[in-house]
Every structure is written in C-alpha cells, then in structure tokens.
Amino acid sequence: MRLTYTSDVWWKNAVVYCLDVETFKDGNGDGVGDFRGLTQQIDYLAGLGVTCLWLMPFFPTPNKDDGYDITDFYSIDPRLGTLGDFVEFMRTAHDRGLRVIADLVVNHTSDQHPWFKESRSSKNSPLRDWYVWSDKPEPDDPSKVVFPDKEDSLWEWDNRSKQYYLHSFYKHQPDLNVANPEVRDEITRVLGFWMELGLSGFRVDAVPFLIENVDPKLPDPHEFLQDMRAFMTRRKGGSILLGEVNVPYPELVKYFGDGLGDQVTMCFDFISMQKAWLSLARQDAGPLADALRERPKPPKDGQWAMFLRNHDELTLDKLTDEERQEVFDAFGPEKDMQIFGRGLRRRLPTMLGGDLRHVKMAYSLLFSLPGTPVIFYGEEIGMGENLAEEGRLAVRVPMQWTPDGGFSQADPVREMPEGSFAPDRVNVADQKRDTASLLRWFQLLIERYRECPELAWGTYTVLDAGHHAVFAHRCDADGASVVVVHNLCDTAVDAELKLPGLEGHQLTDLLVDGTLDVSDDATVKLPLGPHGCRWLRASPPQIAPEDAGVMSQ
C-alpha cells in the first residue's frame, strides 16, 4: 500500500467530527451558534487532528425537528449566517486541510416547504406527485413508527386537498416521492449545488427510508443510490456518501453496492456499536468480538464508520429486550434517561460515571476498532447532557469553551449541563493546559490512529486474550502489524495472546513507553490495569519500531 492511497481514498482512515453549527460557537452574540463562530474555531479543530467535519443541517427551517425539517435546500438558515459566511467557512476549512461533508436530508421536507405548499394546493398541482398521497392509507405497522412518543401513524389527513400524505417521521415532515424522476433530478441538483461550494460529500439521513419506504415502489431502489454516487463521482472524484443504515448485516451489504461498491461509500456500523455497549455493560468482550467476527467485509474502497455515540438517541434497537435492559440498567436506569423505549439520551462520559480512566479506555477502543472513527462534538472534552431538554436535544448542548461557558456573549438558547459536567468543570481552555486531560488523550489517539493505517486499511483478526473482559484484535497490512488490547473491567487482569507470524518480534507500546517480546512460540503475556488499554506495533529485532509501519516499507 502506497502513502498516496490514503489521499486518493481519504475516507478509509479519516477522523470525522460531527457538529451542529447552532450549538458550536456564537459569532455575533445572539445566543445562537453560526458559521462566523464556527470559522473562528477552525484552528482548534485542525489542532485536535480531525480530518473531516460533518455538519448537521444548516438549512432554513421552522425548527420543529432541530433543523431536520427543511424549507429550502439551497440556502442557509438566517440564524446561522449567509451563503457568504458559508463560503468563508469552507475556504478557511480547506486552507487548514479539513474536508467538509453535510447532512443530506431528502427523505422528507418540512410541511412549510414551498414544494409541499404547492403539492397540497390541489390534486392537479404540477408538484402533486412530488409527495406521496393516498385516498386510503395503507394499514399502519406500529413497528415502523420511528417516534412512538409523538406519532401513532405514518399517514396524515390533509383537509386542504382531501387526501392522506405519507410521513415516515413526524407529521410535519411529509415524505418526498423518490419514485418520481423529477424529485430524483432535484436531489442531484442539491448535491451539485453544495459540491460546487466545496463539500466533499454527504451523510445521508435514514437511507432505507429514502429508497425503500416509497410508494409507488421503485423497480430497483438501489439504482437511485447508484445514480447519486455516479453523479458525485463525475463532479468530484473523491466525494463520498456516508450512509445511516441501521439494518442487519446481511441486508446492509446491499447499500454498499454488494461487491461493486458503487452506492454508499461508508456505512455506520450500528451492530458493533450496540454490541460494544453490551460488552461495556457486562464487562465482557464477547458481544463485541462476536459482532466483528460476523461483520461482512465492505467492497474494496468501501469502509465502516465506527462510533460509540452520535447526535441522535443511543439506539439499542438491534439488541434483544433482555440485552437492552442490561444496558439500560448499567448506563441509564432512570426513565428520563431513556427514549422511544429503545435508546438512551445520554452522552458517554455521564454513562460511565465521569470515571476518566474508563472514559479514556472507551475512546481508545473506538479509535482502534477497524473502520473510520466518527466523534460527536464535545466528546473530546467529556461533555455531559442536559436531561431538562426535550428528547434527543439532551445531548445537543452548547459547546463548552471556557469555565464560564464561552459559547456566546449572550445567554445561549439552550441550557448547558450543570453539576460535575458544567462548564466550570468541563471546558476546552482548562483541558488545553492539562497534559493528563481527555482533550490531550484525544489528540494522542488521533495522532496514533493516523500513524497506524493498518487499523483502518488492514485485515483484522479478533484474538482470544484468555480473559472474558479483555477485547483484543490484530490488524495486518502489507507485512505490518498492530495489536490492540482493552480491559473492559474495573480490575487489573493479565492477558495472553497468540500471535502467529510474529515469533521473536518486539511489541512497542504506542500510547505509553514500554516494550514486550513475543516468544518463539508466538505467545505474549501482558498486564492490564483496570480499564487499561495498549496499542502495540510489531517489529522484527533488526527493524526499529518507527520503520515497521505499513507506510515505512
């Protein structure tokens, strides 16, 4: 593997940082984050080491669903700035070497979108078929209602035009009819518009709903994803589609484009994420190890996107009822911490009780798992949630820059956490000056991850470590090997690994000083402290560790 490959296929070992412009930094003192504020913090993001920013929706919106109800796909919400502010932000991000992707929310629009207003004006409207209308709604399947706390049906009666319209999510978000070629053409225009302004791709919201939940049914639903990907490749060869596809592995592979890799470039690994939380709850590596052993291999240039926490609820929908309850009991036992009966509305540090050693181990695990790590803003300093906010807004709190908040000169529109996760306890300014802080740990993890392309590019093997609480895996690429070991329990343990092919090699710890020798029978024993973690690069006796990596050969 040549170093140039990591530029051509940059997403395979990127570090993706998801942020909401509205809650990141206020640049004009009105209490709402904006693009001017975000641009002021570009050097912070570049210094953290992230390589790609993922922006949550920033389009004009009535804001009934935190920006996911869009009224104009070609503009910026006035609260967040102007197209000029956006262009200045993109220019600055590119100057610092950062790529930018944005949420593509085209399963639905707001019911205030001009398209829907025209569509509902008359059954003879030229845009009538841009949405899904029916005289008689199909029978509802309760399991398909995404927000059971707010909705009890997928269909809503429209008094104005005397028909029902389909809404997979909230009733104020009518579904677009992607079966209509005019709608598909308009979506590609949206893609092209923002790519011309510098975007490197899109995170596609709710992909199965976009192509499967369409009436009339598309003859080949995946053909639309192929067309989108082909259009983007023609416009910009290195552009990507990052898909939110929360389905079982056998079904998920289709979204990559089977073996061709001509649809979604990267897919979030919801299965491994949920199994990781079950492993953390049990202090048992088994569930995560099983998930990774079962996970199919993506197409050659495809990739898995790995995460432990994102901007939505921490969904646990793929666990059994009993497994989900185990995670609830461990990390969100109070009803107010849970949401939709299937997830948690807490951030990782609070779920782990603020135990810095435990939190550091969890993020070390994330960055070492085979795939591309995706982190949510504020994770790098250990921000908490505000359960006083409604629903999923609990985790979308203002970024904490200084002990007094630092988000805005005015009172933030959203409240910050209180108590041990308040800004005076958790903020960027303090952690920059603390070499033992979580922020500095993140910088180290990102630096080591970028130095170890084997983790993202290589072939991984889940190892038996001789202890149920130890998750160990090995990544190999072009004769180079990295071994990573994590202790999921709160007591010290000893692990023993078999590493065939590495007989007589030395293992150099990449996170702290230290080396271990692999015996002639390919065995290595290593101690792990409570919630301990080790990243180890293998090198033959005659080669220095820094020369043993895949990029050094």
Q: What is the DSSP letter of 550?
A: G
Q: Which two tokens stand for residue 296?
A: 């199919």
Q: Which two tokens stand for residue 319?
A: 């666990």
Rounded CA-CA distance 225/543 in Å is 46
At residue 441's C-alpha, the angle toward residues 549 and 517, to 5°, is: 40
Indicate if 111 belongs to the active site. no
Q: Which of 213, 280, 218 is nearest to 247 (CA)?
A: 213
Q: Which of 34, 111, 175, 244 is labelled catalytic? A: 244
Residue-by-residue DSSP string for 38-63: HHHTHHHHHHHT--EEEEPP-S----
Q: What is the residue type of 314?
A: L
How is the chain split among helix, strand and coil, in percent rounded to 5?
Answer: 35, 20, 45
Residue-by-residue DSSP string for 427-466: -HHHHHT-TTSHHHHHHHHHHHHHH-THHHHSEEEEE--S
Q: Which of 66, 205, 380, 454 is labelled catalytic? A: 205
The sign of the torsion formed by the CA atoms of 417, 419, 424, 428 equals negative
The sign of the torsion formed by the CA atoms of 350, 351, 353, 356 equals negative
Rounded CA-CA distance 472/518 in Å is 15
Indicate if 415 belongs to the active site. no
Rounded CA-CA distance 318/275 in Å is 9
Catalytic residue annotation: 205, 244
